[in-house]
Amino acid sequence: MRITLGRNLKRELIVKKSLLVVALLVCALSAAQAQKITAAGATFPYPIYSKWFSEYSAAHPGVEVNYQSIGSGGGIKQVCSGTVDFGASDMPMTDDLLKSCGVKLIHIPTVLGAVVPIFNVPGVNDIRFSPDVLADIYLAKITTWNDPRIAKDNPGVNLPGDKIIVVHRSDGSGTTFIFTDYLSKVSPDWAGGPSKGTAINWPTGVGGKGNEGVAAQVREFPGAIGYVELIYALQNHINFGAIKNASGNWLKASIDGVTAAAATAKIPADYRVSITNAPGPNAYPISSFTYLLIPTQPKNAENEKVIKDMLSWCIKSGESEVSTLSYAPLPESLQQKVLQTVYGLP
């Protein structure tokens, strides 16, 4: 009897070990077969992309989406060189950039967002910035917080005589493009000087890498001013100012203000459009679309179907989540147009 029980126990242990080995082999095989999608680019939409890609991967076992938040300039370079499956940029690529790119790309707008002027002025929580004043701060023509031109827009605010510490991006940045695109529209001196781009020759200031780096610099230095995407100001609890829009109204960034800025835009077939300084009483002036840059011929053919499915998921399921991170969703009519573009990808 004891011998029989011993043999049964031994057989049971052998079966369990065999099942464990099989399970480990299945896991290893699944890991080996996992489809890995790589992407890189803009920090502006990183919070929502991180959420989307994580949720998509969780809902689709065996798919991994690795997005590196390195700035729009880096994203354009990597997708054009074929280093990643797709890129991301807040700046719609120019014709020259598209021609010089090593692959043919399609712009897919995903969400809308706002760039805000953040500041660290001791004892002051709200500041209004006229467009020309904001430009002249970054042109180093206005250098102290109690400058008469700032004071004029902020009656009753006790502005200190502290020196203004200008903070800008140190990397190639779509957020920089949006900000300088706006300054170029509202300031002839800016348009004729530094102009617009993902990386420019800054007249003054110190650099921070990514929206995160600019936010950290402004938090650290009293007297600092910078520009970041709205969610970074909210997450870091940094004060941000109101801006006078094209209709002469003072507005702080909001989802409604970004939506109003997009409402009057004429969207071209390739989606490349600027909506900074948009008309309308409720339009927030430093608003923008952000884009995924999708190659028409994927570097990895096996990932083509997954990327198309992921893009359609982002539009059909992801858009409903964007307002929780202070982005504005694409208008419904535009969502349908984008879906048609996605379905039509080769």
pLDDT at 6 over 90: no
Q: Tell me the domain boundaries of the chain.
A: 31-112+290-343, 114-263
CATH of domain 31-112+290-343: 3.40.190.10
Q: Is the pTM of this model over 0.85?
A: yes
User: What are the tens digits of pLDDT across the range 185-225?
Assistant: 999 999 999 999 999 999 999 999 999 999 999 999 999 99
Quick check: helix, strand or coil at residue 224? Answer: strand
User: What are the tens digits of pLDDT across the range 7-37?
Assistant: 554 555 454 454 444 344 334 334 445 799 9
pLDDT at 273 over 70: yes
pLDDT at 251 over 90: yes
Tokens of 79: 């997708």
On the question of a common fold for 31-112+290-343 and 114-263, the answer reads: yes
Percent of the chain clearing pLDDT 90 (strictly above): 86
Question: In terms of C-beta distances under 8 Å and separation of at least 24 residues, what long-range contacts does 131-137 make, across chains too?
Answer: 131/182, 131/183, 131/186, 131/187, 131/243, 131/244, 131/277, 131/285, 132/186, 132/187, 134/183, 134/186, 134/243, 135/183, 135/186, 135/187, 135/189, 135/190, 136/187, 136/189, 137/164, 137/166, 137/225
Tokens of 224: 């600092």
Q: Which CATH class is domain 114-263?
A: alpha beta
